Amino acid sequence: MSKILKISNLYKNYNTKKMEIEALKNVNIEINEGDFLGIVGPSGCGKSTLLSIIGGLESITKGSIEKKDNLKIGYMLQDDCLFPWLTIYENCLIGLKINKTCTKENMENVKNLLTTYGLKDFLNNYPKDLSGGMRQRVALIRTLALKPDLLLLDEPFSALDYQTRISVSNDVCNIIKNEKKTLIIVTHDISEAISMCNKIIVMSKRPSTIKKTYNIDYDFDRTNPIKSRSSKEFMEYYEKIWEDLNDEK
């Protein structure tokens, strides 16, 4: 797979009236096409800051970020950010309208995505009519409508109850795989990261650097998240990552 993103010796500092705060320190990451990268770490360590930097929403203090030419990035936040006065279909067209790319072809693509991923019968419904899990699928399809190469997900399932979270995270993972996208996800849920990703980085407390990288290289059934979470290999990864995070308290 070809490399689409390389972060080298990245530092991010914030200036306040009294001091300079070092948020990220000497961060190095390489992302290949098709990678599913999970980012875990203590609260407040800068995981979301790193995601915002990759998405071009924040600047860096020092270091470099190399991106593949014409790399398109889609960003999915914690909140689904659906407009309550628009239908599901209209919500999915928002990005296209903002980018002035709401062509007949792209509109048809949105309908196809909604149909493929179980929302065909809800095109004319409003967000209030949908469950939390269905709303997250709509938010993902709205992001996919822009045809990004790389998807950034920032705690997208944090508002869901545990059972729904497992089901929806699995749905989202399979959708992104089916659409042949690359993924970077920030999460506090170790199990979620292991079940979704082929690579996980563990970040230290602030000033945050990459403490350890794990390649999740065993085979398990992603269509059965409960079964995969009970496997021996899964638990071995979980315990190692848990120990890494526990050391940061």
* Residue type at position 249: K
Question: Does residue 141 sit in helix, strand or coil?
Answer: helix
Q: Residue 34, by phi and psi: left (phi above 0), alpha (psi -120 to 50) or beta?
A: left
Report the C-alpha gap between 141 and 93 in whole angstroms: 10
Q: Which domain holds residue 139?
A: 82-148
Q: Are residues 128 and 171 in the same domain?
A: no
DSSP 107-130: HHHHHHHHHHTT-GGGTTS-GGGS
Is 76 part of a structural domain of the chain? no
Report the C-alpha gap between 194 and 40 in whole angstroms: 10
Q: Are residues 45 and 141 in the same domain?
A: no
Split into its structural domains, the chain has a count of 2
Q: What is the pLDDT of residues 103-112, one digit of tens each?
A: 999 999 999 9
Q: Note the pTM of the prediction, 2 decimals.
A: 0.92
Looking at residue 233, its pLDDT comes to 87
DSSP 89-106: HHHHTHHHHHTT---HHH
Give the CATH number of the domain where residue 20 resides: 3.40.50.300
Looking at residue 169, its pLDDT comes to 85
Q: Are residues 158 and 137 in the same domain?
A: no
Q: What is the pLDDT of residues 208-233, one digit of tens each?
A: 999 999 998 877 666 566 667 778 88
Is 77 part of a structural domain of the chain? no
Is 54 part of a structural domain of the chain? yes
Is 242 part of a structural domain of the chain? yes
Looking at residue 53, its pLDDT comes to 95
Looking at residue 156, its pLDDT comes to 86
Report the C-alpha gap between 20 and 209 in whole angstroms: 17
Question: Does residue 211 sit in helix, strand or coil?
Answer: strand
Q: Are residues 22 and 143 in the same domain?
A: no
Q: What is the pLDDT of residues 77-125, one digit of tens each?
A: 888 899 999 999 999 999 999 999 999 999 999 999 999 998 999 999 9
> What confidence category does residue 249 fall into, taking pLDDT thresholds of 50, 70 and 90?
low
Is 202 part of a structural domain of the chain? yes
Q: Residue 165, by phi and psi: left (phi above 0), alpha (psi -120 to 50) or beta?
A: alpha
| More reliable by pLDDT, 177 or 83 | 83
